[in-house]
A and B are shown apart, each in its own frame.
Chain A
Amino acid sequence: MASLALTFGSGAMTNSIADTEKTDLFLMIGSNPDTSHPTIGLRVHQAVDRGAKLVVVDPRKTKLAERADLWLRIKPGTDVALLNGLMSIIIEEDLWAKKFVEERTEDFTDLVKLAKKYTPEKVAEITGLPVDQLFQAARMYAAEGRHAIFHGMGITHYVTGTDRVKSIANLAMLCGKVGVEGGGCNPLRGQNNVQGACDMGALFNTLPGYGGLENDELFDRYEKVWKIRLPRRPGKPATEVWENVLKGEIRGVYVFGEDPAVADPNIAHVHKALEKLDFLVVQDLFLTDTAKAADVVLPAACFAEKDGTFTNTERRVQRIRKAVNPPGDAKPDWEIFRDLSKKMGYDMNYNSAEDVFEEIRSLLPQYAGITYERLEKVGLQWPVPTIDHPGTAVLHTEKFTRGKGLFIPEDYIPPVELPNDEYPMAFTTGRDLARYNFSSMTGKTPEIDVISPECFAEVNPIDAKRLGITEKCWVRLTSKRGSVEMRATITDRSQEGTIFSTYNHLEALVNFLTLDALDRLSRSPEYKLCAIKVEVLDEKAA
């Protein structure tokens, strides 16, 4: 979300889920909400049913791709080239929103300069798309109407993830599609409270509410409220922790509700680091693989056993409420932090989650007008600056949060690891509808095992024929970093040269394959693309 913060001044979904009712055209790029955000996917389908246009950019033949007015089956990892190419056509054909660009944006000339380099022919070559599809897409998006871009992890899980998001923002501003109902740039947040965790400043480079570490005034304010000197040195992002552990820079790690031993890219590397750590604390619901390596494990209450708030992808702050008691001695996480902080000599005086929330809203302007009482009936979308403010369904309607929208043109950089002689296939991953992350939660529901008993390597029929892969046969997928075994299924959902698998099954941890190269701004890993080779396992007959 770092990029939208740079271009718009606020790194969040600009519009609302309910806006889909008003959208005239959807540009879905790197997002398959049917499986990742099913109830949002449903709204998109319903909008298309009622006549909204649909343009899908996806190497995979998803359900939405199948019914799209235009499906751009792009080569994985070439989105920035495509986006720049579309802008080039839009500028060339004079389809851009002149009034919007003039009044509400800056640095447009930089964009023009960059776009010139991306001729349709060049982009067609990079992306593998026919030129006429590029023209078609550009004209459709730039036309009059409420046009929304939706993107997901298919965009951000690349080293160039932030470049893509910036390019998406550039396109939306160029066509004046921001700040209107039914339009905007809509990143779909993967997890229930990613938005909230960012808002709360659980980030190495910002305080709560996105105040940067260089903002001395803000620091002064926090120090006054928290009555303690705060560190102003930059911190380390999660994705750099393991490397620093191996270097001996980091000695102790406190893992709260995560399982890097299975979730992080290149997990073999993580396992090595876990062994080297002096001290590891894990706070979780289950004895995860990471917890098994811990020195102390703290049992936490789950969402149904405590009070609190989540902030969803459309910035809506919503309540969770205690419904049942936690098992045994398990406690809500906020109580654990309070008690541990006291042991470490820093008193936190909260008697309820609501007490904590009151402090949050006293510090974060976006949350200032939100109270538990107001959330009793329905959630509120930040910013909610005052207690009588109704919440904000659409961002940037009058002006951008940062004032003017900033064009930040980015050049196309090819994916880090392209298929080569040794590892000739591209490998990408996605979420299984019935499952969530590594199934530590969904795996406990037997019906879900019935619906989704295993994951498959989805292989294009042409590749299957070439590689001698038969339906449901076992294959071994190997990257430079490791290998996994699973069964294959032959389907044209996968593009030729690309193998897809869901990542939710613990029996086949695809993150043994994935790449831990990081985006240079957000430090996101390149989960979505790496090079692999495929072997058919005869001995493990289906």
Chain B
Amino acid sequence: MNITINGMNIIAQSGITILEAATRSQIYIPTLCHVAGKTADAPCGLCVVEIEGREGLVRACTTQLAEGMAVVTDSSTIKKHRIERLSCLAETHFGDCKAPCNLTCPGQINVQGYIAHVSKGEYEEALRLVMERNPFPFSVGRVCPRFCETRCRRILVDEPVSINHLKRFVADWCMTHKIDLNISCEPATGKRVAIIGGGPSGLTGAYYLSRRGHDVTVFESEAKLGGMLRYGLPEYKIPKDVLDYEISAILRMGISVRLNQKWGKNFTLQDLKNQGFDAIMISIGVPIDQPLEIPGATLPNVIPATKLLKNLSSGKPGKYGNRAAVIGGNNVAMETARSLIRSGVDEVTIIYPRAKTEMPATQRNIREAEKDGVRFLLVSSPVQIMKNDSGCLDMDLVRMKLGEPDERDVRHPEAIPGSNTILQVDTVVYSQGLMACADKFEGGELERTLEITPKNNIKSNPRTSLTNHPGIYAAGDVTSGPRSVIQSVVAARRAVENIHAQIMDVAKEAGESRFNFSRGRSFDDVDTKIFKGVKTKLREKMPERAPEISTQDFDEIRLGFSEKMAKTEADRCLSCGCSAYDRCDLKELSIDYGIDPNKIGLRKVPIYEKDKSHPTIIVDLNKCIFCQRCVNSCEYDALELSATSFDQKGRPEGLKLVFKDNCVNCGNCVDHCSTGTLNKRDAIVPVINEEMREVRSTCPYCGAGCQLILKVKGDTLMEVTSDPNLAPNYGALCVKGRYGHKFVQHKDRLTKPLIRKGGQLVETSWDEALNEIAKRFFDIKSMYGADAISGFSCARATNEENFLMQKFMRTAIGTNNIDHCARL
């Protein structure tokens, strides 16, 4: 039968539908309900097409082909209809695509995913998931401002989940257990990229560029890598051995490093260009302190904060006396004050011209400084510093008040005349902010013409990460001024995407869609009924050293979660995001057709309670669009989905899903669900960023030999499905074939050869184990003959292995005593 679809001539089998013909010709027609040749009672209506010479739209799933039919699958009328249908279905869909924590994280880390891995005890995979987006899990896990926790919906129940402590836990656990994540790189591209600066942004750039297959060289001005993580954050926050481990894991990607190479002094941008680098990324951070512009600023014992912190980090001894003042209210000022306390200074005072709540430092850092005994002298400002007779410094301080609002309605602090007091100190440290350069960059022509911002940072295009020079990129604090580590990581990761697209001359991968169904974007929008059944359980408390002890040294204050604490904490996660994120057809089609959930107005309250009574499937009917694919795909006729009535737009009300007694737990319905209504109980890790790999295999259980698709992420078997087009099982699986694969990564697996010594089985090397076997078999052979040895082969193992086992017995041993459990 001859037809055309979108003008393409197609010879199709007669008696089939347009949808079937299109599918066979690999022409895509969207549908939400069609499965196994069946359509929902109330069809989704998305598969509509136009037929030349006929009025209106017809459904492709039910319209039979006719000779000469001319079908159009996409037109503005069709699109309009599909958008209407999708909007209609979406209105009643109640769920979150992504969890709020995930949406809030600047790094878009799959927070819910790694927490789920923790709760399953899969720490290695949790870390791998973090590393998809952030190569600094140790550091960020210690110093992150935790944007995610502020949006954690658990706040509405009791307290937010201690997300960041969990991140730190998985990183530390993998370090303690010497786990090599074996993260692989794409094949080498032959492109070379130079990165100036080996701090968080530079190393992030190096890490992701290497994973992309580029040859990366990092130029670092200091003797060691790490930037602010090493020289700006004291050891009580990030211990140096942890940082060294973290950096070594990044370098394992095959990154070249040139240390003690100061940009502008040892090399210029032009030098790098001459050396043939295809791209240059500047990520030197903000190494320059804003100067202190008052009289006495140049006196000895008046020092910039970064210098003090660097000296301390490098182990350079310094004498700071008994009393010190720190000028500034930013995070660096807090670390400076706390470091001074740990250096034996009795009295450390932070001086800041406004109130505490207006300090740029995070409230958490301020609280910690207070706990350490740092004093705060607020709404005060230094006027000048003088050396007094006793060799100390007299700081002339003036009280401040807020002035009249300026044209932008901002009230700036002003000095109160005559309110001066003198504070006597031994050391003054100032932390007034940081910038990329003092004035302009030194070096050659390219440096001198590098465009900078009014705040003395490098100007770069936020979309392309490019500076004003082609091929030269900048990312991280060097462009933005001081930010959190995770923000530097994100900036660098974005720059990597730009650099990669540019040097490979490919289009930049489309950013992930911001499309998101939500059960409430703000806390106020959230109906607390969704927490029904959640028991109050306060967060695990991070074990830490008491301030009176921890201020005696620079050792780490927070000791980290134990495994038990981590699991308990992970179990507090409410798993807001949809575990069907990677397979939801409703979401995919809504993105394709530009549906805006915020405009169409979503349901605000749950109607159905989650049903957890099935042994392997959790049902959330709030997400159901009544496509009936679950019913129509079930080969056992084992479930019933019903609605008591339909609303004006034909949408179901009073939904009820019942698994009948003949359900065999095969899980097929879940794979066919068009939303996240049906979920495998165990599939709690949403797959958001990097996709799962699909490896085809054969079931290891009975003799049917069902074909499997093993879905793998990182090094973890996430779930098992089957291809409906492949013999012998054509997509059917039993409960074992679908779920019975936890043994693969079970903790009881043997990991080392064991040998009996002194009556006990103890771990040994392969060499020793095999030598022992060879020796003992030789002994038996020489004393009793080869037939005194017998081998059991394995009907579960492969053909190749059975072949070799019998070959081994017949050749190396020399007996036909070989058999297997075929008859057992």
Q: Is the CB of A129 closer than 8 A to any CB of chain B? A: no
| Distance between B782 CB and nearest chain A CB, rounded to angstroms | 11
- Chain B interface helix/strand/loop/mixed: mixed
Q: Is the CB of B799 within 8 A of A199?
A: yes
Q: Is the CB of B754 within 8 A of A296?
A: yes
| Distance between A284 CB and nearest chain B CB, rounded to angstroms | 7
Give Cα A530–Cα B790 distance, bound, in whole angstroms.
28
Q: Is the CB of B789 closer than 8 A to any CB of chain A? A: yes
Q: A197-B795, A323-B695 are in contact. Are A258 and B822 (CB under 8 A)?
A: no
- Write out the residue numbers on chain B whose beta carbons fall within 8 Å of the beta carbon of A445: 682, 739-743
Q: A39-B729, A311-B799 are in contact. Are A286 and B735 (CB under 8 A)?
A: no
Q: Is the CB of A191 within 8 A of B665?
A: no
Q: Is the CB of A235 within 8 A of B749?
A: no
Partner of B820, one of A238, A300, A310, A338: A238
| Distance between B781 CB and nearest chain A CB, rounded to angstroms | 8
- Write out the residue numbers on chain B whose beta carbons fall within 8 Å of the beta carbon of A18: 727-728
Give Cα A439–Cα B141 distance, bound, in whole angstroms.
39
- Write out the residue numbers on chain B whose beta carbons fall within 8 Å of the beta carbon of A252: 776-777, 780, 788-790
Partner of B615, one of A46, A161, A444, A450: A450
- Write out the residue numbers on chain A whose beta carbons fall within 8 Å of the beta carbon of B743: 285-286, 302, 440-445
Which of B11-19, B78-86, B554-562, B764-772 binds A? B764-772
Q: Is the CB of B545 closer than 8 A to any CB of chain A? A: no
- Write out the residue numbers on chain A whose beta carbons fall within 8 Å of the beta carbon of B772: 295-296
- Write out the residue numbers on chain A whose beta carbons fall within 8 Å of the beta carbon of B822: 1, 189, 191, 194, 197-198, 203
| Distance between B178 CB and nearest chain A CB, rounded to angstroms | 11
Q: Is the CB of B635 closer than 8 A to any CB of chain A? A: yes
Interface string of B722-736 (1 = CB under 8 A from A): 000011110011111
Q: Is the CB of A321 within 8 A of B790?
A: no
Give Cα A67–Cα B803 distance, bound, in whole angstroms.
42
Give Cα A470–Cα B801 distance, bound, in whole angstroms.
49
Partner of A250, one of B788, B801, B809: B788
Q: Is the CB of B337 closer than 8 A to any CB of chain A? A: no
- Write out the residue numbers on chain A whose beta carbons fall within 8 Å of the beta carbon of B766: 329, 331, 339
Give Cα A296–Cα B755 distance, bound, in whole angstroms.
5
Q: A296-B756, A378-B727 are in contact. Are A330 and B700 (CB under 8 A)?
A: no
Q: Is the CB of B815 closer than 8 A to any CB of chain A? A: yes
Interface string of A138-173 (1 = CB under 8 A from B): 000000000000000000110001000000000000
Closest A-chain residue to B775, C-beta based? A343
Q: A252-B788, A264-B824, A522-B823 are in contact. Are A193 and B715 (CB under 8 A)?
A: no
Q: A235-B816, A345-B812 are in contact. Are A447 and B706 (CB under 8 A)?
A: no
Q: Is the CB of B703 within 8 A of A192?
A: yes
Q: Is the CB of A191 within 8 A of B795?
A: yes
Give Cα A258–Cα B793 distance, bound, in whole angstroms.
8
Closest A-chain residue to B713, C-beta based? A324
| Distance between B123 CB and nearest chain A CB, rounded to angstroms | 14
Question: Which of A350, A433, A444, A522 is packed against the most chain B CB atoms within 10 Å?
Answer: A444
Interface size for chain A: under 10, 10 to 19, 20 to 34, or 35 or more residues?
35 or more
Q: Is the CB of A299 within 8 A of B750?
A: yes
Give Cα A303–Cα B702 distance, bound, in whole angstroms.
13
Q: Is the CB of A226 within 8 A of B807?
A: yes
| Distance between B759 CB and nearest chain A CB, rounded to angstroms | 11
Q: Is the CB of B794 closer than 8 A to any CB of chain A? A: yes
- Write out the residue numbers on chain B whose beta carbons fall within 8 Å of the beta carbon of A537: none
Closest A-chain residue to B706, C-beta based? A39
Which of A110-118, A352-360, A399-407 binds B? A352-360
- Write out the residue numbers on chain B whose beta carbons fall within 8 Å of the beta carbon of A256: 791-794, 797, 801, 805
Give A237-272 interface residues, CB cut-off 8 Å to B: 237-239, 241, 244, 249-258, 260, 263-265
Give A277-305 interface residues, CB cut-off 8 Å to B: 278-279, 281, 284-287, 291-292, 294-300, 302-305
Q: Is the CB of B693 within 8 A of A313?
A: no
Give Cα A400–Cα B710 distance, bound, in whole angstroms.
39
A-B contacts, CB under 8 A, total: 477
Q: A296-B769, A447-B615 are in contact. Are A194 and B703 (CB under 8 A)?
A: yes
Q: Is the CB of B799 within 8 A of A156?
A: no
Q: Is the CB of B666 closer than 8 A to any CB of chain A? A: yes
Q: Is the CB of B776 within 8 A of A279?
A: yes
Q: Is the CB of B819 within 8 A of A202?
A: yes
Q: Is the CB of A524 closer than 8 A to any CB of chain B? A: yes
Q: Is the CB of B823 within 8 A of A239?
A: yes
| Distance between A539 CB and nearest chain B CB, rounded to angstroms | 31
- Write out the residue numbers on chain B whose beta carbons fall within 8 Å of the beta carbon of A36: 702
Q: Is the CB of B492 closer than 8 A to any CB of chain A? A: no
Q: A191-B795, A257-B794, A322-B695 are in contact. Are A442 and B801 (CB under 8 A)?
A: no
- Write out the residue numbers on chain A whose beta carbons fall within 8 Å of the beta carbon of B752: 299, 328-329
Closest B-chain residue to A63, C-beta based? B662
Q: Is the CB of A51 closer than 8 A to any CB of chain B? A: no
Q: Is the CB of A312 within 8 A of B665?
A: no
Q: A323-B695, A447-B681 are in contact. Are A433 and B734 (CB under 8 A)?
A: yes
Q: A249-B788, A299-B751, A313-B703 are in contact. Are A339 and B821 (CB under 8 A)?
A: no
Q: Is the CB of B808 closer than 8 A to any CB of chain A? A: yes
Q: Is the CB of B636 within 8 A of A327?
A: no
Give Cα A253–Cα B792 distance, bound, in whole angstroms.
8
Q: Is the CB of B753 within 8 A of A254?
A: no
| Distance between A319 CB and nearest chain B CB, rounded to angstroms | 7
Q: Is the CB of A235 within 8 A of B771?
A: no
Pull 6 A–B residue pairs with CB atoms less than 8 Å apart, ordered by A: A36-B702, A254-B791, A340-B808, A434-B740, A436-B736, A524-B824
In the A-B complex, the 8 residue pairs with the closest CB atoms: A312-B705, A328-B751, A235-B816, A257-B794, A308-B798, A189-B703, A524-B823, A38-B734
Residues of A at the B interface (CB closer than 8 Å) are 1, 16-18, 36-40, 42, 45-46, 156-157, 161, 188-205, 208, 213, 226, 228, 230-239, 241, 244, 249-258, 260, 263-265, 278-279, 281, 284-287, 291-292, 294-300, 302-306, 308-314, 316-325, 327-334, 337-341, 343-346, 348, 350, 353, 356-357, 359-360, 378-379, 433-436, 440-448, 450-451, 519, 522-525, 527
Residues of B at the A interface (CB closer than 8 Å) are 182, 615-616, 635-636, 664-666, 681-682, 693, 695-707, 710, 712, 715-717, 726-729, 732-737, 739-746, 748-756, 761, 766, 769-774, 776-778, 780, 783-784, 786-824
Q: Can you name 17 extra interface pairs (CB under 8 A) apart from A238-B824, A295-B772, A436-B702?
A: A192-B700, A200-B806, A204-B817, A236-B819, A250-B787, A253-B790, A254-B790, A256-B792, A265-B824, A308-B798, A324-B745, A327-B750, A330-B750, A334-B801, A340-B770, A445-B682, A445-B742
